[in-house]
Every structure is written in C-alpha cells, then in structure tokens.
Amino acid sequence: MTEFPPTRTEALRRLNAFVPKAGRDYAAKRNYDLPGHPHVSGLSPYIRHRLITEDEVLSAVLARFAPSTAEKFVQEVFWRTYWKGWLEMRPGVWRVYQGSLNGALNRVQTEAGLRTRWEEACGGMTGIDCFDHWAQELAETGYLHNHARMWFASIWCFTLRLPWQLGADFFLRHLLDGDPASNTLGWRWVAGLQTPGKTYTATASNIARYTEGRFNPLHQLTPVTAPVEGLPNPPHSDPPQSGAWDPGKRTGLLLTEDDLSPGFLFAQGLRPAATAVLLGTGARSPLTVSPHVVAFTTAAAEDAVARFSDRLGPVTSPTEDPVAIAAWAGENGLDQIVLPYAPVGPAADRIAALADLTEVPVIQVLRPSDQRAWPQATHGFYRFKENIPRLIADLKGLKAA
C-alpha cells in the first residue's frame, strides 16, 4: 500500500505531477508498460473511491490543454464513466456475473485440471514470464498498467483456457482500483461478450513492443481467440434518478467506498446530525479479498472523515455490516439517511440490504456529472463519446467537490 498512500493529499500530488504529461506525451506513450509506470497518471485508485473526482481531474487537465490535445486522456477518464452508466442501465449483468462466478468456483472444487491451471495463474506460476510477472505485480502492489490488464485477461481466457469470471474475480480481489463496472465489462469485452463476437488477442509482438523487450512470449500464446459462450447483452433500462432529501428532517450522512468526496452534498445544503461509513470491500468476492485492498479502502474512508470532520457530526467507525448501520440510524433518531449514489456493485448491494432492514428512508443522490453522462451509455463507447464535447462544456465553472 506504500506505493499508493490512501489520501486525497496524495491524489492531488499525483494529479499535479501528471497534468504536464496529459497531452501529447500521454497520447504517444500511454500504452507502454514500463517499470514505475512513468507514462500514466496512477490516479485510478483515487478516482475509484473518489478521493478525487473525475470532474476535478478533467478540469485540471483541460485548464492546461485544449480538449483535442488531451483527447486520449480525456477519453480514458470517460471510459470509466461510460462503463458505470452502461451497467447502471443493465444491472442484471452484475447479477449474472456473480452467479456464474459461483458456478466457476464450484468447478474449481471438482475439476482437478481446472483447479491446477487456476492456482498456477493466480500464483504467477504458469511459465509464461510476462503473465507470471503481472500476476505477482498485482498481488504485491494492487495495481497493473491498463495494457497489461488487457494482455493478462486475453492470456487467461484463451491461452490458459480459464473462465473469464475467475479472472475478473482475481482482479477484483487484488486491484486497489477494482471497480465492478470497469472490471466486469472489461473482462467481458476481452472474452467477446461485451461487443458480441469481438475478442481481444494478446500477441507476442505487441507485448514485446510495448514492454520495450522486457517480455517476448514468442510461441507461448494461442492465436485462437474465439468468443466465449455467454448470454447476449440485455436491453438497457431507464437510468437511475437522483433522490431528494427533506432539509427539515433529522439527517444522517452515509459514506461508501464509491464516493468519499461528499462536498457536493454540503454545497446543496446537507447538514448531517451524524455520519456513518458502510463499506462493501469484503463483498467483492466469495474468496478472501487482498489485505492491500481492505487496508487502502478503510484508510481512504478514514481520510475522508478526517477531511470533513467539522461538518459530519458524530462519526461511527467504518463497518461492512448493514445491521450496524440500521442500529446507528435508530440510535441517532434519524428521519432519513442520505448518501452519494452507490453504483451497481458490492456497496450498492450493502445499501439494498440496509434499506430492507430499516424503515428510515435511504436516499441516494447522484452527482450532476453522472446524472448527465450515464443516460448516454445506451450503446457502445463510440456513440457515447459523441457526447464528450458537451459533457466537457458542462464542467465549466464547476468547483471541486
């Protein structure tokens, strides 16, 4: 965790250091997976938990560069927004993933060959040097370069012939920036499910080029990358709507790991009588989640509480137990619980469980930028990106959360 101190201060330091490189340098060098990852921002663990927000990152970059100059980086930020919006309007895809993951884990228990390949892959013991390096790097640091994630997923699915759900689970257990939407849909894309019939093929020449010769798995990777079997994409539903709270009622603020910058709620007039933190980290997987991930997420939540301590009222310790939050609401005499919207994933599952446990209304409030962008994620990214100029224009004049 020392490579990624879990504080907003560190997020701002990284942003300030990266901004000068966010234009042509990023466009030219972003695909190179080199030691220390010098050509990418390293902001994803912070954006994932919104210790720093997408709006802040985009505003900082666009204050220095024209949108055309920083186009590649701007699009990379919007990919995260797009994935979230796409899954919000198709939440059943997350449920199908969870069910099929359980099925794959059951197979691991009964099929010796599958179990051996899975254990070797997770432990970085396949004999494919680049893949083994990435597996170990991920386990040790909680991070992988985006290009390495694509290569890794392709080798996992097609060369090692492992279920994509087990790979998505491996990532979600270990990535500090493990995001249910980006991770699940990214693995589906590699496997040929997200864009039906289109897979991502890792090749030795591409790996050798973009690792500058550190790795060259010549003759080790399969050229056969037929799409895996799976259900077709469901039609999209309506996008989520933002809830509204009553400023005259006794209100509790609830934070989750999905959004640790509640300043936008205070700007709208929220004055909580008490605050609690409900985490969903342990629910990322049926297996044990990496201690790095648990430690980072918990410390990030504690950093948020410290930053906003003068506006939170009494604060309880972070918990993963919705029952404890229901009790907290009763003990503090709350009339309503307000929180930044928790998108599809483990935290949202915890919130749903909480809503079933208490009669106190649980009100989720969307950020204005999500409310504008998510409804555009009805089809593929290339249709979504037609809206990016308008979404960028909407950032003008926004203050940091």
Are 256 and 356 found together in one domain? yes
* Domains of the chain: total: 3
Evaluate whether 323 touches 357 at the Cβ level (below 8 Å): yes
Predicted confidence at residue 401, as pLDDT, reads 36
Evaluate whether 264 touches 367 at the Cβ level (below 8 Å): yes
3-state secondary structure of 387: helix
Are 384 and 325 found together in one domain? no
Are 28 and 56 found together in one domain? yes
Per-residue pLDDT at 189 exceeds 50 = yes
Q: What is the helix (H) or strand (E) element at residue 185, kind and residue range?
A: helix 180-191
d(CA 300, CA 291): 14
HEC letters along 161-210: CCCHHHHHHHHHHHCCCCCHHHHHHHHHHHHCCCCCCCCCCCCHHHHHHH
Tokens of 222: 């399969």
Domain end among 210, 230, 259:
210
Predicted confidence at residue 269, as pLDDT, reads 96
Predicted confidence at residue 337, as pLDDT, reads 98
Are 276 and 188 found together in one domain? no
d(CA 302, CA 320): 14
Evaluate whether 239 touches 175 at the Cβ level (below 8 Å): no
- The pLDDT tens digits of the residues spanning 140-154 come to 999 999 999 999 999
Predicted confidence at residue 2, as pLDDT, reads 67
Predicted confidence at residue 204, as pLDDT, reads 98
Q: Which of 195, 238, 242 is nearest to 366 (CA)?
A: 242
Are 279 and 307 found together in one domain? yes
Evaluate whether 269 touches 245 at the Cβ level (below 8 Å): no
Per-residue pLDDT at 105 exceeds 90 = yes
Predicted confidence at residue 395, as pLDDT, reads 83
- The 10 Å Cβ neighbour count of residue 371 is 15
Sheet holding 362-365, edge to edge: 274-277, 251-255, 336-340, 362-365
Are 205 and 113 found together in one domain? yes
Domain end among 210, 226, 242:
210
What is the pLDDT confidence band of residue 29, given thresholds at 50, 70 and 90? Answer: very high
Evaluate whether 188 touches 180 at the Cβ level (below 8 Å): no
d(CA 58, CA 320): 32
Per-residue pLDDT at 195 exceeds 50 = yes
d(CA 301, CA 115): 36
- Output the domain CATH number for residue 274: 3.40.50.620
Are 113 and 178 found together in one domain? yes
What is the pLDDT confidence band of residue 267, given thresholds at 50, 70 and 90? Answer: very high
Evaluate whether 172 touches 178 at the Cβ level (below 8 Å): yes
Domain end among 177, 210, 243:
210
340 located within any domain: yes
- Output the domain CATH number for residue 135: 1.10.579.10
**Residue 304 half-sphere exposure toward CB, CA atoms < 13 A:** 31
Are 108 and 175 found together in one domain? yes
Evaluate whether 343 touches 258 at the Cβ level (below 8 Å): yes
d(CA 230, CA 134): 27
Predicted confidence at residue 400, as pLDDT, reads 38
Q: Which residues constitute the domain of residue 205?
A: 94-210
Are 102 and 204 found together in one domain? yes
105 located within any domain: yes
227 located within any domain: no
d(CA 23, CA 68): 9
Burial of 239 (0-12, 13-18, 19+ CB in 10 A): middle
199 located within any domain: yes
Q: What is the helix (H) or strand (E) element at residue 25, kind and residue range?
A: helix 24-29
Predicted confidence at residue 399, as pLDDT, reads 40
- The pLDDT tens digits of the residues spanning 342-371 come to 999 999 999 999 999 999 999 999 999 999
The DSSP call for residue 269 is: T
Are 58 and 81 found together in one domain? yes
Are 268 and 307 found together in one domain? yes
219 located within any domain: no
